[in-house]
């Protein structure tokens, strides 16, 4: 079950939600189902050095991802 990011067309609220194939997501703020699916940022772990704070693309802003 993937987690998707959405932006509500009605109130502009942005949120993440766990979506099953049979579910229709709705805005956590106003309940609208008129949503735009956002492009999600994902992270991988490996041998590479981590980027500077704010470079990972976390939508909550610099320092929110707690990588550093």
Cβ–Cβ under 8 Å, residues 63 and 54: yes
Per-residue pLDDT of the chain (68 residues; tens, 9 = 90+): 578 899 999 999 999 888 888 888 999 899 999 999 987 666 555 555 655 666 666 777 676 666 54
pLDDT of res. 33: 94
User: Cα torsion for 63, 64, 65, 68, to the nearest 10°?
Assistant: 20
Cβ–Cβ under 8 Å, residues 25 and 4: yes
The upper half-sphere exposure of residue 22, i.e. CA atoms within 13 Å in the direction of its Cβ, equals 0
């Amino acid at each position: 079950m993937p987690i998707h990011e959405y932006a509500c067309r009605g109130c502009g609220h942005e949120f993440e939600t766990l979506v099953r194939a049979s579910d229709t997501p709705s805005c956590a703020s106003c309940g609208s189902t008129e949503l735009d699916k956002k492009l999600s940022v994902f992270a991988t772990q490996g041998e590479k050095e981590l980027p500077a704070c704010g470079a990972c693309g976390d939508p909550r802003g610099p320092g929110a991802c707690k990588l550093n």
